[in-house]
Amino acid sequence: MKEAPKYEIVADHLRQQILEKELAINEQLPQENAIAAAYNVSRITVRKALDILVDENLIYRIQGSGTYVKDNQPHETGAQESSLEIFDFSKFKVKLLNFAVDKPDTDIMDQLNVTEFDFTYEIERLILDEDDEVVAFQKIYMPAKVIQGMRMDVLKGSIYEFLTEDQGLTLGSAIRTLSSEIANSDTIKIMGLNEAEPLLTMEQRSFLNNGQIFEYVYNYIRPSKFSLHESINLTD
């Protein structure tokens, strides 16, 4: 029996790793030369294997960054923005502190996969409860080349609702990193705290369903004022 081409063998192995979740959604694949060395093939062979997986909607490429596992799980219509939303804006209010369009610094360029020549929306806002108590402070960055026509009134509620209903975008997935810290002098002043207190920090990178990153958010949350609830379903 004739042996399958090497690029199909490489594609089969990578496909199996993705489908068996050995490679997580939005996880970066090794560089092409590393894959080539692992399978003892040429980079051209690796590129052909990756092209197959791109066509199968299993991975996506970001120019200048790398190749990543795509979230190809179906999302229910109308539920996609709520799966990324932390705060229910029917219960919480927003106080907008800053809205600007500017060139990103090095860290934001890395987080959003943009260049020094791109513009980003820079948003700072407080989340308030019904008693006007500060619940959280958000720093939001979005690439202007992906999100167009951002308005100040949008920033006083759910930005995701604007993206899906006005912009016609389909949200895909997010990567969240949770940690904790004691409020420093800057956050004490911005959030109007009486003293240094523990804060839950949540860093989030959000992606469209085509794999394009559209948001980087840093949340400073007061656990004394807000509890984060996650629903986990282990059934198919």
Q: What domain range is 56 assigned to?
A: 6-69
Using left for φ > 0, alpha for ψ between -120 and 50, and beta otherwise, residue 209 falls in: alpha
| Residues 184 and 208 reside in one and the same domain | yes
| Residues 58 and 125 reside in one and the same domain | no
Q: What is residue 224's predicted lDDT score, i.e. its pLDDT?
A: 85
Place of tokens 């997580």: 24
Residue 104 is part of a domain; what is its CATH number?
A: 3.40.1410.10
pTM exceeds 0.75, yes or no: no
CB 155 within 8 A of CB 99: yes
Q: What is residue 55's predicted lDDT score, i.e. its pLDDT?
A: 82
Last residue of a domain, one of 27, 45, 69: 69
Buried b (16+ CB within 10 A) or exposed e, 15-42: beebeeeebebbeebeebeebbeebebe
Question: Degrees (nearest 5) of the Cα angle 154, 102, 119?
Answer: 85
Query: CA 179, CA 161: separation in Å to the nearest integer?
Result: 27
Domain count, the chain: 2
231 belongs to a structural domain: no
Rounded (10°) CA dihedral 79, 127, 220, 229 = -40
pLDDT in tens, the chain (236 residues): 467 789 999 999 998 898 888 888 778 899 999 999 999 999 999 999 999 988 887 888 876 678 888 765 543 333 344 468 888 888 899 999 999 999 999 999 999 988 989 999 999 999 999 899 999 999 999 999 999 889 889 999 999 999 998 888 888 888 889 999 999 999 999 999 999 999 999 999 999 888 889 999 999 999 888 877 666 555 54
Tell whether the torsion through CA atoms of 182, 187, 189 and 193 is positive or negative: negative
| Residues 163 and 206 reside in one and the same domain | yes
| Residues 38 and 130 reside in one and the same domain | no
